[in-house]
Amino acid sequence: MRQPLVLLLGFIVLVGCAVTSQSETPVDQIGVPTQEASSVVPEQSGCLWTHPPKEQDPPVGELLPAGEPLGRDDMRMRPGFLGRLLVPEAWVVEHDGQCTETQSIMWVNPLNERERVAHRVGRLDVDELSPARDATRSINGLLSEVADYYAAGETVRITEPVLCRFDFELEAEGGYITAGTWLDLGDAYAVASISVAVDTPVIDNFQNQFKSGLGWSARDFDDYGPGPRRCHAFSETVVDRFGPVGSMFSYRPDGPDPLNSQIDNTCLGHLGDYPERVQLTDGSWEADTDDIKDIYANRRVWKHPGGSPALNATNVEVVRIAYADLLPESEGDPVLEIIIGVVCNANEGVHADIQVLSSSNSGLERIGLPIDGFFAGLSSTSDLDSSHSIGVLNLERLHVARPWIFEWGFDHVDGTTLCCVTDRYSYPIEWQDGAWSLVDEDIEPENTVGESAVFESLLQVNPSLDGCYYSDLGYHVPGPFREGGGDNISMSCEFKPDGSRPTFEIDIDYPLRVRAGVADPVDDHVRAAVKKHLDQRLSEDLGEAIYYGPNGTVLPSQLFIEGEVTFRSDRLYSVALPVYYYWPGAAHGDNAAETVNVDLQTGELLELADLFDPSTEWLPALLEAVDAAAELNYPRCGWGPSETNPGSRIKRFNITPTHLRIYLGLAPNACRVQPVQVGYSDLADYLDSEFLDHLSTTQTAGVAG
């Protein structure tokens, strides 16, 4: 076994963290008085991390009644190891003052000892190979030993919002919430948590202030050298005495560096005729090609945040690597498997898969089929009894996410060359009967959304609709042409999917002629248009977010659709669905015009040509009228129709009582897609007479601009 490299540690000196004698009460950055000590505990003079004596950090505030949530005004900055923490001002400090490699402090609510702030610092084991740092065991140790004794057997969820910072949260017996943050300090780590009986927004303040109180800043992408992220933690684990086996460096296998070895080229091999094996250099392989284009989208996956897209090369890149005990040994010490998440770009498109590898001195060997999708995380499971037992190995699982299925489908997965056949967005995988298999679990969300078919992709990504509000009001149908009834559908969300740094903001409103969830050939066109844009936004932006992980941007993904009925008669029905979207990292947002124009007699969509007499030269006349309206309304923009395709700048249209609303793609991009109005009187010699007859038989009066 290759033993982990432990970096010896001297005194850690952080600017602003030294404890000094002060006669005045300092004030933190938010204006709340802080408490600092004038000296350190005498017996700690030789410790790596010193803490002031507890009599220098007395409680000064009033205790809150039981069951009342903490507020920011109830907190103040109090001295901890290497810096200050945001702690309830009435809680009592406890620490033993002993010099150990891992030292702990707690602040406890005198009225309820389960409510506490727990804080630790310790030496950080650093491995030679990526990921060099693992936060799982130190988070598990804090939770099981000092944060909440009732945490044993409970599931803690861990996320990496920025590189080498891990946030965690769990709910224990009695509804107690424990949440905290782990930080990489180089040769050491610092971790802190707050446990409360009532969930409170002050948890976010605590986590962010812990970071700033230590003077910690996010690591740059290249801080730890080439290759994928250098810090790791299990995304979900059960708190027990030891933590997951996969988090222990001593069980990593001997053998070559996976990021500088040959691997099976299953990612590119799925797309076309490429070499069966490729030699990685610092986690990537690249070959020159001529006409690189992603057939699925107008943009490819960028190789490095802030870098240039790989538009001139076919490439394979390991974007995530980890170790886990996925195939437990029947006897002897565990030997971990290597998991690599691979993304490749080629002429035929973009693909992502996962390989699980065994390692020995002779090289790497793939275990089972490659797994379709992104490597989203690892979990370990146990029950309450095993969490207290010695020598019980908990089952570890691999988690997969496939955001691109919303737009591209999953028919390419047949179970013979790629695992696994499923229509799920995300799922856990474990080794069963000699193959990778989906874990059987009930993941169907509770169907509280009448329009679940439209929001299918959203429900897969966010089954609980956390941060979302849905309504299908049938008694409130504002706007013209709505007196005939129908539902207004509204979905508003702000949430952060697992593995995503960007927040996803979605605000969708659209009208129906019938009730929510009821099939209707006309409304189904509206539903399909909304679903198309929702699926595309989730597919593209989740793919980017999972690819970059904590190295990505914090800018949000946004999708806003606000539909309106612009016309309704016994024969015609027209709905406008203006779309605004922003993909994280773009210079600015963009818009699109989505419209639905239906012949109610047939239920079929109408084309623009269906409104005109085919025996006339209607297109030149329409373009002339559109050009005049565009010049009047958008004098600083241009649109100039193509000579080979004169109607190409006309993106969409809506029918209204008095005019056609024509949507133009204007130049430059800042002008976006904009509407112009062309009155029916200006086109009287070209419009189809039957269309004009149907205009005069509106079901209800109304005016649409």
Examine residue 8 and state whether it is found in any structural domain, yes or no.
Answer: no
Q: Name which of 553, 540, 575 is nearest 654 in CA terms.
A: 575
Examine residue 9 and state whether it is found in any structural domain, yes or no.
Answer: no
Give the CATH number for residue 652: 3.30.565.40
Give yes or no: residues 226 and 317 share one domain: no
User: How many other C-beta atoms lie within 10 A of the C-beta of residue 311?
Assistant: 13
Cβ density class 667-678: b for 16+ within 10 Å, e for less: eeeebbbbbbbb
Identify the pLDDT of residue 30.
35
Examine residue 237 and state whether it is found in any structural domain, yes or no.
Answer: yes
Of 160-174, 464-478, 487-501, the least confident: 464-478
Give yes or no: residues 638 and 604 share one domain: yes
Stretch 341-353: mean pLDDT: 80
User: How many other C-beta atoms lie within 10 A of the C-beta of residue 249?
Assistant: 22
Q: What is the pLDDT of residues 89-119, one digit of tens each?
A: 999 998 866 777 788 899 999 999 999 999 9
Stretch 150-158: mean pLDDT: 92
Stretch 502-514: mean pLDDT: 95
Examine residue 399 and state whether it is found in any structural domain, yes or no.
Answer: no
Give yes or no: residues 678 and 533 share one domain: yes
Identify the pLDDT of residue 9.
33
| Parallel/antiparallel/unpaired status of strands 572-582 and 590-599 | antiparallel
* Residue where one domain finishes, among candidates 339, 355, 374: 374
Sign of CA dihedral 303, 554, 156, 138: positive
User: How many other C-beta atoms lie within 10 A of the C-beta of residue 67?
Assistant: 8
Which residues lie below 8 Å from residue 238, measured CB to CB, with a gap of 6+? 153, 154, 155, 156, 380, 381, 382, 387, 394
Q: Name which of 560, 261, 513, 251 is nearest 393 in CA terms.
A: 251
Question: Helix count (H) and strand count (E) of the chain?
Answer: 9, 35
User: How many other C-beta atoms lie within 10 A of the C-beta of residue 493?
Assistant: 21
Cβ density class 207-220: b for 16+ within 10 Å, e for less: bebbbbbbebeebe
Examine residue 516 and state whether it is found in any structural domain, yes or no.
Answer: yes
* Residue where one domain finishes, among candidates 354, 374, 394: 374
Stretch 255-261: mean pLDDT: 92
Q: Which helix (H) or strand (E) holds 541?
A: helix 523-548
Residue 495, Cβ density class (10 Å: 0-12 exposed, 13-18 middle, ≥19 buried): middle
Give yes or no: residues 238 and 261 share one domain: no
* Residue where one domain finishes, among candidates 374, 405, 423: 374
Q: What is the pLDDT of residues 684-693, one digit of tens each?
A: 999 999 999 8
Give yes or no: residues 179 and 203 share one domain: yes
Most distant pair of Cα atoms in the chain: their distance: 100
pLDDT band at 444; cut points 50, 70, 90: low
Give yes or no: residues 190 and 270 share one domain: no
- Give CA–CA dist 427/543, Å, rounded: 16
Give the CATH number for residue 163: 3.40.1000
Give yes or no: residues 648 and 503 share one domain: yes
Examine residue 40 and state whether it is found in any structural domain, yes or no.
Answer: no
Which residue type occupies 611?
Answer: L
Tokens of 167: 């946030």
Which residues lie below 8 Å from residue 332, measured CB to CB, with a gap of 6+? none
Residue 510, Cβ density class (10 Å: 0-12 exposed, 13-18 middle, ≥19 buried): buried
Q: Name which of 137, 119, 242 is nearest 190 in CA terms.
A: 119
pLDDT exceeds cutoff 50 at 163: yes
- Give CA–CA dist 258/241, Å, rounded: 30
Most confident segment among 25-34, 48-57, 554-563: 554-563
Residue 468 and residue 452 in contact, taking contact as beta carbons nearer than 8 Å: no
pLDDT band at 347; cut points 50, 70, 90: low
Q: How many domains does the chain divide into? A: 3
Q: Which domain holds residue 330?
A: 249-287+312-374
- Give CA–CA dist 512/333, Å, rounded: 62
pLDDT band at 447; cut points 50, 70, 90: low
Stretch 215-234: mean pLDDT: 77
Give yes or no: residues 558 and 543 share one domain: yes
Give yes or no: residues 234 and 254 share one domain: no
Examine residue 585 and state whether it is found in any structural domain, yes or no.
Answer: yes
Q: What is the pLDDT of residues 63-76, one digit of tens each?
A: 988 888 899 999 99
Identify the pLDDT of residue 5.
34
Q: Long-range contact list for 219-223, CB < 8 A, 24+ apart?
A: 219/162, 219/163, 219/164, 219/184, 220/163, 221/163, 221/304, 221/305, 221/306, 221/551, 223/163
Identify the pLDDT of residue 684.
93
Give yes or no: residues 563 and 688 share one domain: yes
Q: Name which of 376, 383, 433 is nearest 402 in CA terms.
A: 376
pLDDT exceeds cutoff 50 at 700: no
Examine residue 682 and state whether it is found in any structural domain, yes or no.
Answer: yes
User: How many other C-beta atoms lie within 10 A of the C-beta of residue 552?
Assistant: 20
Give yes or no: residues 159 and 192 share one domain: yes
Which residue type occupies 451?
Answer: E
Which residue type occupies 697?
Answer: T
Give yes or no: residues 190 and 260 share one domain: no
Q: What is the pLDDT of residues 13-37, one digit of tens each?
A: 333 333 233 333 343 433 333 434 3
Has this prediction a pTM greater than 0.85?
A: no
pLDDT exceeds cutoff 90 at 247: yes
Which residues lie below 8 Å from residue 151, measured CB to CB, with a gap of 6+? 143, 144, 170, 172, 178, 239
